[in-house]
Amino acid sequence: MRVDYDVTKKDFIDFNLFHMKKSSATRTIKIFTYGIPIILIGWILLSNSVSFDDLIIRIVIFICMAAALVVMLWLTSKLSSKLIVSRLFNEGKNKDVLGKHTIIIDDEGLIETTENSENRTKWAGIEKIVCSDTAILVYNSAISAYIIPKRAFENERCMNDFYEFIKERIKD
């Protein structure tokens, strides 16, 4: 089976953002990023002994501050992640990342060809296959993948056949 496609900078950024979102390491960082400030705010507001009326006011203030903090951190992390990935991408030439790609899959593995290179990966070298909103991602390591945009396929059936063909061959 052969698929010809173009990888754009947006495809590459989308892959990295998707990977960061799904990564367990990133989830752990988010727990600390959101959790510690909220716990500190709660501790500061609720640590002194106060009357019941003051306690209610402090709880309302805590909830409002925590909600504002979560929204602010979420927006900041989303924007900064996209900006960081984009800047990291701009540091290199990325000749083999962007542009025309051809991927051929057979019983032995896959071959990806670009203008500058040809890579063969046996099925044992493929860690997993994942479908994002915009692409099929064939991971060849924990942090890198072949990015095949969904627009490369004639229709959904062709895309599903491609996905299933690979999935069947990488089962442990």
Where do the domains of the chain lie? 2-8+93-169, 11-90
Q: What is the second-level CATH architecture of the domain 2-8+93-169?
A: Roll (2.30)
Residue 148 CA: distances (Å) to CA of 30, 41, 52, 70, 131:
28, 44, 59, 34, 10
Question: Is residue 135 scored above 70 in pLDDT?
Answer: yes
Average pLDDT over residues 145-169: 95
pLDDT for residue 137: 95
State the first-to-last Cα distance of the chain, in angstroms, to the nearest integer: 22
- Give tens-digit pLDDT for 108-124: 999 999 998 999 999 99
pLDDT for residue 159: 95
Instruction: Please give the mean pLDDT across all residues of the chain.
Output: 84
- Among 5, 19, 55, 2, smallest CA distance to 142 is for 19
